[in-house]
Amino acid sequence: MNHINGIVFDLYGTLYDVHSVARLCDSYHPGRGREISAVWRQKQLEYTWLRSLMGHYADFEQATYDALVFTSGQLKLPLDAAAQLALCNAYLELAPYPEVPAALGRLQAMGLQLAILSNGSPHSIHSVVTQSGLAARFSHLISADEVRIFKPHGSVYQLAEDHMKRDRSELLFVSSNAWDASGARHFGFPVCWINRAGNTFDELGQSPDHVVGGLDQLADWIAAPRNN
């Protein structure tokens, strides 16, 4: 990994736990919080992909809201306007995975340029990293909003090269979302897939260059050859 000069992270589900909203979901419908969160997240992703295919862009915050309305109707678990607002706001305050703060510190100390490339809007990305106290770890917070289409479209991955002024071969892309890791690998990034849950990688004609169980293992992997 000595040729890697920067790391580009996905945000949702990679650095931050999208299901940290489940507790608040549960407060509105006790015992159903995790189910609400799971359906909400899946539909949120589907709406980004469908809007990209339709050529009908709306930002990630709108996709998140629309997915919540769908989830409420699909599960027949009503949420009034105040509940919808509170839950959507919770997506602006997601919790990082436990190992993330220390691992980012280690990676930054190695002299690596760290960036986020996310389908989130600029407001969403900034809010999430700022409220968690991790904004100083990143040199760039890059949003798909710039090109008005979502990952895994190649124009979104191109933004990382443009902002960081590095060739894709020098930028390690890190995601826990297999579809995102596949898109990045297809674009030409070396890719590390974070597989916390022991999932199966998507069959999209691509394979990650490395697989880890958490961000701490990524830091170990990168540090090892640099110390030889």
Is 26 among the catalytic positions?
no
Residue of 10, 59, 145, 180 marked catalytic: 10
3-state secondary structure of 118: strand
Radius of gyration, alpha carbons of the chain: 17
Contact at 8 Å (CB) between 18 and 123?
Answer: no
**Regarding beta strands 95-96 and 16-17, do their DSSP bridges make them parallel or antiparallel, or are they unpaired?**
antiparallel
d(CA 146, CA 55): 15
User: Structure tokens of 156?
Assistant: 């979104």
User: Structure tokens of 3?
Assistant: 């040729």
What's the one-letter identity of residue 28? Answer: Y
Element (DSSP H or E) covering residue 7 = strand 6-9
Q: 169: which DSSP letter?
A: G
Active site amino acids:
10
